[in-house]
Amino acid sequence: MDEHIVSSYDDELKFIVRRISEMGGQAERMVERSVSALINSDWGLAQSVVADDVLLDAAQRELDERAIMTIAKRQPMAQDLREIVGAIRISNDLERIGDLGKNIAKRVIAVHEHQQPIKLVRGIEHLSELAIEQLKEVLDAYVERDHLRAQAVRDADEEIDAMYTSIFRELLTYMMEDPRNISACTHLLFSAKNIERIGDHATNIAETIYYIKTGQQMASDRPKNDTTASMTVAVPGSGAAPAGAGE
């Protein structure tokens, strides 16, 4: 293969890798701002997140096309091919993270029609801090092609799942205490679920980094700690036996 083609392939790869980092930064800011909009009832900020999602979608579509053209033109093999395929997968996860940020932003109005105790919103803020930290960590691991750091990100997702489970339980209890909380808490439940999903996408990205670097899939699925799918909460003061969390 002559020097010129090699260099040009490298340029294309560098372009793709740089775009992934840019998209990662955009997705991260969307999540930060959507949660900030939720906490501060900032509808203007929420709207700007919704608008940014269009840009992130377009960036993903463009990266996809670029990556596919690179594969068709350069026919890369082994790690080179994994780099491009990995970039397609990561940009897909980043686009979905942006979607989840947008979904949170869209709930800002409903959550604040009734004033909620600051404690509940703080729980969501703390959950989002964990998720954003995971996202930053996995984007750094991508830049450094550090598959061990990526593995640590995957393992830390348990913490997000555990905190989501606790917020889910708290929100349900709060709804039962006073039916006036039900509307807002429902939207907070969906927001919390969206943040928990952001953690899952950080995990996907970690697994893709591992695949790019090693050519292997990461060892078997870690146990999931989000047990809310089977969770019920007893009505306070009701005679019914507490249903427990199904954990």
Which residues of the chain form contacts with its own copies (CB under 8 A)? Answer: 64-65, 68, 71-73, 75-77, 81, 85, 88, 92, 103, 106-107, 109-110, 113-114, 172, 175-176, 179-180, 182-184, 186-187, 189-190, 193, 229-233, 235, 238, 240, 243, 246
- 35 neighbors 104 (Cβ within 8 angstroms): yes
Least spacing, CB of residue 107 vs its own copies, in Å: 5
Minimum Å gap between C-beta 37 and its own copies is: 13
Identify residue 96 by its one-letter amino acid code. R
Q: String of b and e for 49-85 (b: at least 16 CB within 10 Å)?
A: bbebbeebeebbeebeebbeebeeebebeeebbbbbb
Decide whether 17 or 234 has the Cβ nearer to its own copies: 234
Q: Which two tokens stand for residue 9?
A: 């392939």
Residues in the chain: 247
With a CB cutoff of 8 Å and minimum separation 6, the contacts of 129 are none
Looking at the Cβ atoms of 137 and 209, the one nearer to its own copies is 209
Least separation in angstroms between CB 212 and its own copies: 13
Residue 106 or residue 137: which is nearer to its own copies going by CB? Answer: 106
CB of residue 140 to its own copies, shortest distance in Å = 26
